[in-house]
Structure 1
């Protein structure tokens, strides 16, 4: 009842603030019964799905994703591994030498008993059999009767599946010995919104799905321990969660039942050697770790990581909005780290810093992906970049314990972005996630340039306004599917600054920022814009008498001025706002009233200037 009341309050809060005019979204309610044959890595599934159509139009077809089908020779994912110049190392095998590597897709060599598949046995729509066809990882269902706007339709699906070898995210027998990493494992209703159906073939990137409720029962060998999305409904009947439990088994199988509300993906992991530990955040969120106790060092790292996770959830709830679900579970599994609804799977045989870092990143996705259902296939930087930003804050404040946030807490992503910008491989950040020419460009655009966009936004509108933007965005868009423009609009409303130019040029182009201090003479400072991306500037001037003054040059397109910021480097220093600068003019000059010793563009280093060497200059 307490959880329901929380969700109701959140829904009412969203109604008060409102979304963009005409906003709507579909909804789903899954009830699944899964019978696992762990020896053959296969399972039978039965699912009832209630689908709510709120689109304003009737639907004669619907679509589902069958992600396991990608793990078959000849799939688009298989071919992608041979056509990209730098394939994911986890998904290929070197059949050449170290000096002359020859990379082969691991998928191409899967045998029939190693591949993944989801074979649909039957589909009924409101009790009437429906015709359907499977094309790669997409299931197309022709409806016996169109789904009218404002109505709900019940689907009943039965299917058989085989869990593939662990190659990417999902799979059996991971390198660390985890038996089952069950992600993207069920027929998942495709997302339909104002842009139409999102029917991306699974070639290795990420996802988008409607919000809904899940009620999942998994029947598996009684010796197995599971970690999953949502709240375990019967902890006293299964292994691992309650001390001295007598497992309730039928035909040597235990039944695990999990429920989760208002999430858009459900995942789980299972292994007979798993152990479970837990803690509770200050806000009452139950955090679980489910892992293999393979050594005393691994056990120590996981137990310490659990404590850091508690601190992280408390920090992020303060800074980015309260975590709204009752649980979060960190399961060892998969091939790295990947976020799902109230759960993540991460590889666990790491040193402590690496383990904490990956947990912080995946847990941060609880906001930028799972609380805000971002379309990762289109706006990959919006979830990965914002998540990387939050991860960096957490590592600085909690793990490294460096105290107050420095002027730029995300310098690691900045440096990675500079390398990308100068590499010749950069592509526009608005490119669809699957279509990058290199994995290098994708990862640095999505994770690093995306984080730079956030921190540099704080430089443009002010640090305090950025913090207010995060919290206002939470109030307006939680449990919805916002676009980057929705975040931009909130930032504009909070700050009073126009941001069209920034979001357009930094996201849709590969233009770079490059300013320099020009002539300093006769109490005059000249600034040069050597690039094709104009920005506002903070210029700290040190006078020969030892005093300092901060000069702020807004960009005309901003139609506003950022407030003074409370960084220590500016403490006690007068700030003077100058006349705005035109992007059409490559130089800008201003006069001061004292003899100049030195001028410095952006001492906080939040301006993503690709050449900092000419940003500071001493007067001759």
Structure 2
């Protein structure tokens, strides 16, 4: 009997052992962990993810003077561009963007808009009128060329002789005008309110396209969803408007004494030194310009400057309530937060808190990630759901409470991505929208001790989309993506990806070091996706090819499963499987019969060996419950197989 009992035990043990070994020896998944793009370094872009020793980018400085014709709703003026060619090759021509040409009936953007329309539908009776084009090298004796070609939203300007490489300069100037659209593709336009018209001006001047070491000239047309990719430079611009208008714009106002009364100047000085919002123009003063303007007829010219920016925008109206407060930046530096909004938007549940929101947002990002570089941060109420430019936002004049906080915080977050870190929005929307949505999560959690909070960490609320057969990849160009997918592939999925890196894969310290290194390395430069991947891996100390490939360049999902828990000698074995296409480290929450709990983490490399893994848990305590991802950070598409036994978690 003793011999038969021992033989029976050996047979059972050998059978289990054989099955376990068999489960371990499966076809490996090495291909999922291999490099998936050419990510080797060059003289221009180092393998470490930083700009290489010979990295270069060109520069465009602008002087612009325009006049607003309120009767005809027309902007007209002149732009002078000083272009510096730092590239290693001479340039016989320069490409510019003419984005107002999107508002023509025969524009590519109009002709590729669905019949039913979308967010990026716009007026079709506008477009630039361009004349007096002059282009010449910035050296004595250079001849002037007027040769140019306009093609949809692009303009090619030729020179009589090429702009020399490695520092050669040229000037381009022209006169331009356009009719300001009412419906400006939810990025700009005009809005009639009781006390006047709000003009939200963006994409309002001819601007130089980017010439870089990756594509050469980046000349994708402006269709709608794809935003912008622009060179950095210094801007000196002036706007002449009716005397009763207030103008707010990107950068610092250069001539306040010429356009504001002493009363407003005194209030402005007070605001620059106040953490509380100060009204510069009060609601009952909006229709009384004699109290707030230095003259009562004709026009006034407002002049602004901003340095090392990639764009500028402004707003002008006779209907603005205007308030401001100080922004406190690292190392004792200061800036000013401003809000401009009509009486229709006034109220403590609405735009009266806009400057409070703006100040908090800018201060949070400056302290957590990288200091805000511009002298002012302006939030403008307009008929625009939300759009960002350096130092200035347009947000919906109807927004209130949490929705106003959310849009204000999001648009100001864009000052970091892509205004400071100058990625190509027209191709890689996820590098600005996704990164920005990620930092918005922490800003919203921090604001007023979570007054409005954030729900992004509840990743499983997006499972319906993750399970949708119509989902597209993050790498889909925004102008190609189905508009029903754009919110996920440009905003939420990449933001969730960064959340997973910080909260689940790398941990906060390693991730934050890498993310800050990325911002610092590429501030005021032009990173590509591989630059981001490389710097996170180098600073974070982890090969993440499996993650970039599956999450950012694929449509597979996370589905980690517990198949069973079985005894093995004095231990227990947790039988795991990866049923999805996205490998992940496995965080297990363990519950013991004595009521105690423990957490362990299995590295992602277990899935490099195959789609199943048996974890031998050595403990003198009896396991009664196991759960994958007990903090529920992962958007795992099948929560039914995350627990063992499932009954105890009901």
TM-score calculated relative to the size of structure 1: 0.84
Structure 1, residues 492-518: CA drift from partner, whole Å, max 9, x if none? Answer: 222211112211221111111111111
What is the RMSD of the two structures over their aligned residues, measured on CA atoms?
2.4
* CA distance in structure 1 between the partners assigned to 2:92 and 2:488 by the alignment: 40
Q: Does 1:48 align with 2:80?
A: yes
Q: Does 1:606 align with 2:633?
A: yes
Q: Identify the range of structure 1 (193-202 vs 446-455) with the bigger mean alpha-carbon deviation.
A: 193-202
Distance 1:498 1:229, change over 3 A: same
Alignment correspondent of 1:97: none
Alignment of 1:300-379 (within 5 A): 301-379=350-428
Alignment correspondent of 1:597: 624
* CA distance in structure 2 between the partners assigned to 1:538 and 1:119 by the alignment: 61
Alignment of 1:452-467 (within 5 A): 452-458=496-502, 459-467=504-512
Residue 365 of structure 1: how far off its partner (Å)? 0.5
Q: Which has the higher contact order (CA 8 A, sep 6+)?
A: 2
- SS of aligned partner of 2:432: helix
- Aligned with residue 313 of structure 2, among 267, 270, 288: 267
Q: Identify the range of structure 1 (302-311 vs 201-210) with the bigger mean alpha-carbon deviation.
A: 302-311
Residue 37 of structure 1: how far off its partner (Å)? 1.4
Alignment correspondent of 1:292: 342
* CA distance in structure 2 between the partners assigned to 1:90 and 1:192 by the alignment: 26
Alignment of 1:507-546 (within 5 A): 507-522=552-567, 523-546=572-595
Q: Does 1:88 align with 2:118?
A: yes
Distance 1:617 1:273, change over 3 A: same
Q: Identify the range of structure 1 (483-492 vs 315-324) with the bigger mean alpha-carbon deviation.
A: 483-492
- SS of aligned partner of 2:479: helix
Q: Does 1:439 align with 2:483?
A: yes
Alignment correspondent of 2:596: 547
Alignment correspondent of 1:119: 130
Alignment correspondent of 1:568: none
Structure 1, residues 100-127: CA drift from partner, whole Å, max 9, x if none? Answer: xxxxxx64xx4xxx42334344233246
Structure 1 runs of 4+ aligned residues shifted over 6 Å read none
Answer whether contact 1:228 1:258 (CA < 8 A) is retained: yes
Alignment of 1:153-168 (within 5 A): 153-168=170-185
* CA distance in structure 2 between the partners assigned to 1:402 and 1:164 by the alignment: 37
- Aligned with residue 549 of structure 2, among 494, 504, 507: 504
* CA distance in structure 2 between the partners assigned to 1:386 and 1:439 by the alignment: 19
* CA distance in structure 1 between the partners assigned to 2:617 and 2:251 by the alignment: 62
- Aligned with residue 213 of structure 1, among 234, 240, 252: 234
Structure 1, residues 140-174: CA drift from partner, whole Å, max 9, x if none? Answer: 11221111112111112222222122231355433
Answer whether contact 2:86 2:165 (CA < 8 A) is retained: yes
Distance 1:468 1:57, change over 3 A: same
Q: Does 1:35 align with 2:67?
A: yes
- SS of aligned partner of 1:419: helix
Alignment of 1:405-444 (within 5 A): 410-411=456-457, 414-415=459-460, 417-436=462-481, 438-444=482-488
* CA distance in structure 2 between the partners assigned to 1:460 and 1:178 by the alignment: 50
- Aligned with residue 242 of structure 1, among 252, 257, 265: 265
Residue 20 of structure 1: how far off its partner (Å)? 3.1
- SS of aligned partner of 2:470: coil
Distance 1:63 1:334, change over 3 A: farther
Q: Does 1:224 align with 2:248?
A: no
Q: Identify the range of structure 1 (583-592 vs 125-134) with the bigger mean alpha-carbon deviation.
A: 583-592
Residue 586 of structure 1: how far off its partner (Å)? 3.0
* CA distance in structure 2 between the partners assigned to 1:498 and 1:409 by the alignment: 29
* CA distance in structure 1 between the partners assigned to 2:345 and 2:390 by the alignment: 29
Answer whether contact 1:53 1:147 (CA < 8 A) is retained: yes
Q: Identify the range of structure 1 (485-494 vs 178-187) with the bigger mean alpha-carbon deviation.
A: 485-494
* CA distance in structure 1 between the partners assigned to 2:260 and 2:398 by the alignment: 23
* CA distance in structure 2 between the partners assigned to 1:482 and 1:464 by the alignment: 23
* CA distance in structure 1 between the partners assigned to 2:508 and 2:301 by the alignment: 50
Q: Does 1:132 align with 2:151?
A: no
Residue 43 of structure 1: how far off its partner (Å)? 2.4
* CA distance in structure 2 between the partners assigned to 1:400 and 1:120 by the alignment: 55
Residue 619 of structure 1: how far off its partner (Å)? 7.6
Alignment correspondent of 1:585: 611
Structure 1, residues 178-221: CA drift from partner, whole Å, max 9, x if none? Answer: 43111111001111111211111111121100011100011111
- SS of aligned partner of 1:294: helix
Alignment correspondent of 2:165: 149
- SS of aligned partner of 2:636: coil
Q: Does 1:180 align with 2:199?
A: yes
* CA distance in structure 2 between the partners assigned to 1:285 and 1:246 by the alignment: 24
Structure 1, residues 43-63: CA drift from partner, whole Å, max 9, x if none? Answer: 222111111111111111211
* CA distance in structure 1 between the partners assigned to 2:183 and 2:81 by the alignment: 28
**Count of matched residue pairs:** 554
Q: Identify the range of structure 1 (173-182 vs 59-68) with the bigger mean alpha-carbon deviation.
A: 173-182
Alignment of 1:193-212 (within 5 A): 193-194=212-213, 195-205=215-225, 206-212=227-233
Distance 1:181 1:446, change over 3 A: same
Unaligned 5+ segments in structure 2 are 1-48, 138-142, 267-290
* CA distance in structure 2 between the partners assigned to 1:423 and 1:178 by the alignment: 43
* CA distance in structure 1 between the partners assigned to 2:517 and 2:536 by the alignment: 9
Answer whether contact 1:516 1:614 (CA < 8 A) is retained: yes
Distance 1:402 1:462, change over 3 A: farther
